[in-house]
């Protein structure tokens, strides 16, 4: 906790950006912002290790705000440089979502950075949505009014009820990496993916596949009309400079 407090004040956090591609056109359409912590002694700590502590101590509040602000500020610069409709996805933790001031924070960040709501995507998890389902609908509706894109991260792994898909105003589903991982050798994973895509499309939701590591996985997803994909095969999470180079190389979707 002490380390995390210091990290906030000493600017030990930074964001990496992982590209997301449209599978029909092949163009780069968005990025997911992923938080990294490099400590004073240059140790790199993964978010899976420090986010739970940040949540427990409430520090995820200011940390999450920093992530949102930094990601929007950077994306606005990319928009101004020509990548007009590039979308940025930011992960939200349950603690942030349940704070009553989430919508105010989002409003403030959009105003301060000049970012348009329709280029900001917020990634929520199934368990986050399932707790306090009633109040969540109100928050989600407030965010939708601002044209913010809402997606469900790690879909298929949480303890949840599918009824929220018809009740909540979400736009996108991100198929969890665990299904993609063994997709070519496990017929059951392939079937689950096909079923998720079919269900999502009939509910008018877009589908993004996470953790695409091989050409075979990519071909399968394309063949079964998955809308977008991200993963090491397409591009690792990278720093701002590397992402700028990627944008300059083309593949900018306008
Ligand atoms: P996530 O949102 O599901 O992010 C995807 C994770 O998969 C990232 O791990 C990413 O680096 C990794 N990944 C991407 N492509 C591949 C691939 O092809 N193969 C494999 N094996 N992994 C891939 P990362 O960056 O370590 O983040 C872990 C989790 O930490 C994230 O999972 C997210 O839940 C959380 N997280 C990251 N940044 C933030 C943040 O700013 N706020 C909050 N609340 N949570 C965050
Ligand atoms: Mg995510
Ligand atoms: Mg995920």
Distance 166 CA to ligand 1 centre (A): 26
pLDDT for the residue 42 = 92
Note the pTM of the prediction, 2 decimals. 0.96
Mutation pick for ligand 1 pocket among 7, 32, 91, 175 (CB with most ligand atoms within 8 Å): 91
Would you give per-residue pLDDT tens digits along the chain (254 residues)?
999 999 999 999 999 999 999 999 999 999 999 999 999 999 999 999 999 999 999 999 999 999 999 999 999 999 999 999 999 999 999 888 888 789 999 999 999 999 999 999 999 998 888 887 788 889 999 999 999 999 999 999 877 778 888 888 999 999 999 999 999 999 999 999 999 999 999 999 999 999 999 999 999 999 999 999 999 999 999 999 999 999 998 654 43
Proximal ligand: closest to the CA of 18: 1
Closest alpha carbon to 75 in 32, 108, 107: 32
- Indicate which residue's Cα is closest to atom 2 of ligand 1: 91
Torsion of CA 13, 76, 72, 30, to 10 degrees: -90
| Ion ligand 3 — residues with CB < 5 Å | 153-154, 210
Between CA 99 and CA 33 the distance in angstroms is: 21
- What is d(CA 165, CA 173) in angstroms, rounded to the nearest whole number? 10
* pLDDT value at residue 251: 53
Q: Which two tokens stand for residue 91?
A: 């992960």
């Amino acid at each position: 906790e002490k380390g995390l407090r210091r990290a906030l004040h000493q600017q030990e956090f930074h964001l990496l950006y992982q590209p997301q591609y449209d599978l029909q056109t092949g163009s780069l359409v968005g990025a997911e912002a992923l938080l990294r912590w490099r400590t004073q002694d240059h140790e790199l700590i993964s978010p899976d290790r420090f986010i739970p502590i940040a949540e427990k101590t409430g520090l995820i509040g200011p940390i999450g705000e920093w992530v949102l602000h930094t990601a929007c500020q950077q994306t606005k610069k990319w928009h101004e440089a020509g990548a007009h409709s590039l979308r940025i996805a930011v992960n939200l933790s349950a603690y942030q979502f349940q704070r009553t001031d989430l919508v105010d924070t989002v409003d403030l960040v959009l105003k301060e950075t000049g970012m348009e709501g329709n280029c900001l995507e917020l990634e929520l998890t199934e368990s986050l949505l399932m707790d306090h389902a009633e109040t969540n609908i109100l928050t989600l509706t407030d965010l939708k009014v601002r044209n913010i894109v809402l997606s469900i991260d790690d879909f298929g792994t949480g303890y949840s009820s599918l009824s929220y898909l018809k009740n909540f105003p979400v736009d996108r589903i991100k198929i969890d990496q665990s299904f993609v991982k063994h997709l070519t050798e496990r017929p059951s994973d392939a079937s689950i993916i096909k079923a998720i895509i079919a269900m999502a499309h009939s509910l008018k939701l877009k589908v993004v596949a996470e953790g695409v590591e091989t050409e075979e996985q990519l071909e399968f997803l394309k063949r079964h009309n998955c809308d977008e994909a991200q993963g090491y095969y397409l591009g690792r999470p990278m720093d701002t400079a590397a992402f700028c180079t990627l944008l300059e190389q083309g593949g900018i979707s306008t």
